[in-house]
Amino acid sequence: MSDLSAIAESNPLRQALPRAKVPEPCSIVLFGATGDLTHRKLVPALYHLDQAGHLPGECAIVGFARRDWSDQQFRDELKKSLANPKDGGFEESWTEFAPKIFYNASNFDDPSGYRKLKEQLDKIDGTHGTRGNRLFYLAVSPEYFSVIVEQLGQAGLIYKDDEGPWSRVVIEKPFGHDLASALELNRDVSRVLREDQVYRIDHYLGKETVQNILALRFGNSMFEPLWDRRYVESVQITAAEELGMAGGRGGYYDTSGALRDMIQNHLLQLLCLVAMEPPVDLGADAVRNERAKVLQALPIWTAEEVENHVVRGQYVAGSIQGKEVPGYRDEKGVAAESSTDTYVALRVTLNNWRWAGVPFFLRTGKRLPKRATEIAIQFKKPPTNLFEVDNEANAGANLLVLRIQPNEGASLAFQAKIPGSRRRLQEVRMDFRYGTAFASPPPEAYERLLLDVLLGDPSLYTRTDAVEAAWKFVDPILKAWDAPDAPKILDYAAGTWGPEAADKLTEGTETEWRRL
Residue 309 falls in the annotated catalytic set: no
**Spatial separation of the C-alpha atoms in residues 185 and 33, rounded to whole Å:** 22
Sheet holding 59-65, edge to edge: 101-105, 59-65, 26-31, 134-138, 167-171, 198-200
* Dihedrals phi, psi of 478, to nearest 5 degrees: -60, -40
In degrees and rounded to multiples of 5, residue 505 shows phi and psi of -65, -25
Please report, in angstroms and rounded to a whole number, the separation of the first and last CA atoms in the chain. Answer: 47
Contacts of 466 (CB under 8 A, 6+ apart): 272, 288, 291, 292, 295
Tell me the C-alpha to C-alpha distance, in Å, between residue 257 and each of 179, 222, 482.
16, 39, 13
Integer CA distances (angstroms), 276 to 214, 230, 351, in order: 9, 16, 12
Please provide residue 435's backbone torsions phi and psi, each rounded to the nearest 5 degrees.
-65, -35
Q: Is 239 exposed, middle or buried (0-12, 13-18, 19+ CB in 10 A)?
A: buried
* Distance (Å, whole) CA 397 – CA 233: 9
Choose, from 128, 177, 266, 309, the residue flagged as catalytic: 266
**Half-sphere exposure of 375 toward its Cβ, with a 13 Å CA cutoff?**
23
Which residues are catalytically annotated? Answer: 266
